[in-house]
Every structure is written in structure tokens, then in C-alpha cells.
Amino acid sequence: MSTVAILGAQWGDEGKGKVVDRFAQQAEMVIRFQGGNNAGHTVINDRGTFALHLIPSGIFNPSVDNILGPGTVINPPSLIEEITELQSSSDLSFDRFWIAERAHVVMPYHIALDAAEEAQRGELAQGTTLRGIGPAYADKSARSGIRIGDLLDANHLQTWLPAVLEPKNRLLEHGYGVKPYDPQALIDQALAWGEQLAPHIVDTLPIVDRALSNGLRILLEGQLGVMRDLDWGHYPYVTSSSPSAAGACAGAGIAPRSLDQVWGVAKAFTSSVGEGPFPTEIHDETADHLRETGGGEYGASTGRPRRCGWFDAVAVRTAACLSGIDRLALTKIDCLDALSVIKVAVAYTVDGSRVELAPDTRQLEKAEPIYEEFPGWKTSTAGTTRFEDLPPNAQSYIQAISEITGVSIGLLGTGQHRNDAIVLEHPFSAP
């Protein structure tokens, strides 16, 4: 396989960073295709522990071209800070790090609007990360955004930025009572960002097209999960982009027919950050145990505690349906080691009917999970690297997940480190 998309098959926080970091050792290009610094990927390898917010997880392989695709939205100060921190804490090179000139910029007024709008929603708050992601994507769709390439064009900014800022300032000042932004100050700030990022800003389409023509091994790295998809997630508790396979192609600049394989990443249980229906959520000591094991279930970007629940096969089955998932990477098996009984939601009941694919939000809010129970193994699986070395009950649980979701499992995560994994199948080569 030459071009492989790695997506979240749940609500996000599934362990995509670890999987991409592992597979990027054999890749030649990694492309982040959507999202911004609203969600992070935690990577633990021989260099240390890293929380990546915008930088692709392939940055740890010096032979890889790492690209922020045109489907992303980029907060320049956050990106510059992330680059600086990575360079100061390790010997990482950014000589092969590229930013698509077509990617959109998260401006300071986007962040201000995000906070003001979320505060005004009150009890209807959506649990946004307050990073300005939604307003930036809204401007992109409304054709009033600032793109990364614009940061290199002073003449364009002098004309364009005041025009798009004027209605934002009116809304901030008169709608929310927030101090308006000075256009020239923002222009100066934007040009300074452009000067710092200029060595990395390019037209990525020829780079990606050349890689495809030469048969290079390409990973497309998603953010969040398919259940947060703008169209198919639980609206309005969704992100503002598409974390699906379709979104991967559009956001990276790759034709759908060039996508060879899709991997979905799912935890052996389920977690979610933010508001919205979560059918398998649990609130007892088991939830506390899951939240605190495996490094802790807290958002890599926000630090917010994640809501935890049993494995939701309906969600993963839906993600597989929407994105054509070929293989699952099932992470955090070791977090279940201490449990006596483990549950899997094989379907929902909604108004007395059995449902096997996730319904729309109003129906999901009424969904009751139908559980199948499995015996725990009460034995440590941490660091296990061979399937046959897993306890029999763990093997049975994993095989059941594959059968219930209808997707073969290609990787099992047994710890936080890159090497804490059982690779049953590699997208590029032998394990």
C-alpha cells in the first residue's frame, strides 16, 4: 500500500498520534488534512513525550516530508510556539516541514468570537475548545477568510483584512461588548507571522502529486474522530471539518482513487471530550479507573477530563461504514487489565427498535445501549508485543470486537510508548 489514511473511529482521543508515529517510521510523507490546534496527538517514543497540536506526527522521522494540508486551519502563534518547543526539547529538523499556502488562518478575532458565542449559548453550550476553529472554518465557507499564503502578501492584506474585519468588529463591539481590533495592528502582526513561517509556506499540490506519481509511502493523519464529523457526527456537537476518509482526500489534495487503505483507530473502551450524547458513558469507579490509567484520560490540547464509557461498536461500525475502514488499530488494551467484567455495546434500542448504525442526535439522545459482557483477564498486558502472549480472555475480547464491528484488527496498543504494540499487519510492510 502506498497511500493510507489513519482516522479516528470514535469521538477523538483514540491514540492516532501513537499509530501514526509508529507507521511513519516506514512512511515518506505525512499529511495532516483537517482541524487545527483544538485537539492534540500525544506521542511517546525514544525521544520523549510530546503533545502535538498542529505538527504532523511524522515529524520524528527525519526522512519524512510533513505537511499541513489546505484542509487545516492554523493559528500562527500556536504553530510557531510548537515548532520552537520541539526544536528546544529535541534535535528535530523542520527542513522538510511544509504548510499549504491554501490553509486558512485562525485570527485573534476568531478566538474572541468563539468565546463570546459559546458564553452566550449558556445551557446550550457545545463544549467548544475556544480555539477559534469554528469561526475560522465559517469564514472559509463564507469566502471571507485569511489564508496562510496571504501572510506573505502585504498589498493584499492591506486591502483584504480591513474589509473582512469590519463586520467582525461591529459584531464583537455591539453584539458582545468586546473591544474591536485595530486593522493595521492585525496586518502588522500577520506579516510578522508570515516572515517567521515563510520558509515552510508552499504550494503543496505539486509536492503531493509528485509523491503519488513516484509511489511514495504516504500517511494521511486525521484529527478527532468520525463521530465528530460535521455532516455525520452528532450535530451540533461536532467539529467544523470532516475527519472522514472523504475529508482526508479533500483536505490533503489527493484523489479518492489514490487512497489505497483506510485505518480506523479506536480505544478498547470509549471516551469523549465536550458536550453531546454519549450512550455508553459510565459514572462509577470503573470510569474513574479508565480515566486515570494509561497516562490519564485528559485532552491533549485542552486538558479537560474525558468522559469515559464502554466500547461502542455502533460508533465504530458507523465510522467504518462512512469511511470504508479496512483495518482497526485498537489501543489501550492494557487499560482494561484490572477489570473483572468488560462490556461492549453491540447495538442501541431507540423507541423500542434495535439500531446498529448511529442515528441522528435527537434519536441518539434516547438511545439505550444493548450490552454484551465479556470476562476480564486480570493480568497485565502492558508492553506485550505478540498476540499469542495475551491472556486468552484478552484474545477473545479482541476477536469479538473485530467480529462485532466487521473490521479486521491490524494493530493492538498495549501501552503508551511507540513500541508498546502488537502489529498484526503493517500498511506498508511486514511488522
List pLDDT tens digits, range 275-284: 899 999 999 8
What pLDDT does 431 receive?
46
pLDDT tens per residue across span 38-96? 877 778 887 878 888 999 989 999 999 999 999 999 999 999 999 999 988 777 889 99
Catalytic residue annotation: 13, 41
Question: Percent of the chain, pLDDT > 90?
Answer: 79
Q: Name the pTM for this structure.
A: 0.93
Q: Is 47 helix (H, G, I), strand (E, B) or coil?
A: coil
367 has a pLDDT exceeding 80: yes
The CATH 3.90.170.10 portion of the chain extends over 3-93+203-423
Looking at residues 97-102, what average pLDDT do you find? 99
According to DSSP, residue 375 is labeled E
Residue with cell 493559528: 75
Return residue ranges of the chain for CATH 1.10.300.10. 104-199
pLDDT tier at 303, thresholds 50, 70, 90: low
Identify the bridge partners of residue 228 per DSSP, sorted by sequence position.
none
Rounded mean pLDDT, 346-364: 97
Q: Residue 207 corresponds to which cell in the numbers above?
A: 509536492
181 Cβ neighbours under 8 A, 6+ residues apart:
108, 109, 112, 165, 168, 169, 172
Q: Which helix (H) or strand (E) holds 275?
A: none
CATH number of this structure's domain 104-199, picked from the four choices 3.40.640.10, 3.40.50.620, 1.10.300.10, 1.10.30.50: 1.10.300.10
pLDDT of residue 430: 47
CA distances from 225 to 206, 248, 263, 367, 372 (A): 28, 12, 12, 20, 24
User: How many residues in total does the chain contain?
Assistant: 431
At 104, which helix (H) or strand (E)? Answer: strand 104-105
Beta carbons within 8 Å of 403's beta carbon, 6+ residues apart: none
Flag whether pLDDT at 242 surpasses 80. Answer: yes
Write the single-letter amino acid at 179: K
156-193: pLDDT as tens digits: 999 999 999 999 999 999 999 999 999 999 999 999 99
The CA-CA-CA angle for residues 220, 238, 236, to 5°, reads: 155
Amino acid residing at 247 = G
The whole-number pLDDT of residue 329 equals: 98
Q: What is the pLDDT of residue 124?
A: 66
Residue 44: how many CA atoms within 13 Å on its side-chain side?
A: 12
Multiple choice CATH, 3-93+203-423, 3.90.170.10, 3.40.50.1820, 3.40.50.720, 3.40.50.10800: 3.90.170.10
